[in-house]
Structure 1
Amino acid sequence: MEQLSIKTSTHDYPVVIDQGLRFKLKSFINKDYPSVYIMTDSNVAPLYLDDVYNTLKDQFHVTYSIIPAGEESKSSRVYFDLMTQLIEAGVDRDGLIIALGGGMIGDLAGFVAATYLRGVDFIQMPTTILAHDSSVGGKVAINHPLGKNLIGAFYPPVAVIYDVETLQTIPFREIRSGYAEIAKHSMIHTPPFWDQIKSVTLDESLSETTLIRDLIHGINVKANIVEMDEREANIRQFLNFGHTLGHAIESELGYGKMTHGEAVAIGMLFAMELSEQHFSVSLPVDAFYDWMKRNNYPLNLPRLSVNRLMERMKRDKKTKNATIKMVLLKALGEPILVDMEDVSLRQQLESFLEKMVIR
């Protein structure tokens, strides 16, 4: 069993990684909660809800909600419905919410926990590779039609319980989505570990040993940065490498057309090309493109409006005074936040998108 401790301004919490943890969940709950409320989605519920429910039901009063799978559920409507269900279930301020699922569930359930009765405890139980990133660090949110994660809070969980057995049932697209975030960590970390990731092939031969190794490496990067900058005042923004354009593409296409990780991978490719031009440096752009191609990431985009993408990028949480800020790389392991001039960024984005359409 691997265990890390994350330090925050309010409390420390463990991140535990092992097989079969859903059957040992009681041993990680150190408080006598009068009620436990599980939030999961329609994909995860048939696989793991009974395991978690049955593990807890003898010790706690347990109820649950099953939310439609997909990013569309990170909405104000679903959020408000969950608030109603918690009130009707009689969950009070001493209750516990468990987020059982991928990044969507973690973000949504975490935001519910942060705001229900001004805050109740919650545990993250991620079931996807992508959630190795979103479950650690305490950023919780729902989407607005005009942008992703624009309504949210900093609200750390009381524990992150990562049962790697649940990764055996995720679809290939989710493996690919999660590894994009691991690749991101590999490029912004000092020292970088991109050479370790570029050799990974995401198919049936991907071993659990390799997966756990890369998950732990990625979580360590996230944990170290979060501990130094809990509220994203400075270096935590480096974790948004690839996300400025990635979020814009994801929103513009419509949630569900492309996974978060797929969109972020395209955003990383653009940020790397932009970095080369901005700093006159050489980065492994071709190697990253080849890695994406070998692992069947989407590399062809429909024609997208540059104006609309720019508008969405200006709604990014890093934007100040209507100036788009991009996380670029001066070198692997040397991320930096750069104010981008509109005319130049538009030209480079137009050129990049043209290549992504015709490649």
Structure 2
Amino acid sequence: MFLLKRKKEKCTNSKEKIMKNALLLLLSIIVLSTGPIFALDITMDAERDDFYNALTGPADGYIYLSPASLGVGSGSGSPDDEFDCSGLVWFSWDSSYFYCYAEVTDELINVNSSTTYENDCIELKIDPDPLMESTSGVAAVRLTAWGEADAEVPDGVDNLIKGAELDEAWEPVEGEDYARKEVLTDTRYGYNLEFRLPFDVIVRAEKYVDVRIGGIMGLAVNLHDNDAGVRDFALRWGSDMDDTVWSDPQKHGTVTFLEGNKVNLSTANAITGVDTNSVDYTPPATGVATQPVQTPVQFELAQNYPNPFNPTTMINYSLAKAGHINVTIYSLSGQKVNTLVNEVQNSGVYSIPFDGSQLSSGVYLYQLQAGSQVFTRKMTLLR
């Protein structure tokens, strides 16, 4: 009887050991299939890192905030066009940080209000754990654009709300946790913003971020624009375009953490499954919106004449030296419409006709490229 009991115990222990080993094997397979979380080598310098150049759209963490993404209830104004305000925004992550990098086109940078969101700035609203299905507990962070040196504005990353669960406040360091710079080039006027948020400070109402491959968190993005001393409007990403994204997690989109430090950005809310946002956030093929900046007269792309036009107009430009020249017409969405010039030209003044009789009414971009120099202007076709 004693021997039989010992055999049964031994058999039971053996089965438990087999089941335990099988479970460990299954877990190891899951870990291997999802891959490890590598630390991301991102430099906080307000310049685009190579990692972001490989991203293609919302499915891997890259969105375009166009004038079509105008939020509701965030000011009385609206963008004139993408040169007034628009932005490309990239997101990434590793086991310690959530990263954000933005290239904003803004023809008038204003940072003159003591209320952060009334300035030109980017703002994130974060629901650390949507699976708790809470209707409160939103963390917030804002980073203002680079403004005048004497502007009385909050300095650095502002207003990251920390829960009572944290014993120490987070004190971000410029160049280590955030960076910002004004941008004035031949093709764009605006500013770049970059920052990283430690996951252990993204805490609200006892909600913590599930930092793992396959984990999720709620997110809303606001790009605020100030042209007259107060916020005129905000461009927005989320499941709802209403201004209540600042306090309501059920208006947020969903971030899913992927392998390779990438994230999936879905405008569907993780709590309700609802998505009332019909805006296309796919970045344009030409990248960030470009705009004309005054250049020396010897190298210039002039405004077309007449403008508006129907259906023909003249495009004039001058070249300071010989080189390969491209003059291309694009739609506002970045789709190439026509190539007018693609050849080597000598220095001098040129005038070329453009016939828009096959196009519908609207605003188009015409672009002059000469070597590394690119100039872009808008023209309006009225049929």
TM-score, scaled to structure 2: 0.25
| Max Rg structure | 2
Give the structure with the higher percent strand.
2
Higher relative contact order (CA 8 A, sep 6+): 2
Give the structure with the higher percent helix.
1
TM-score, scaled to structure 1: 0.26
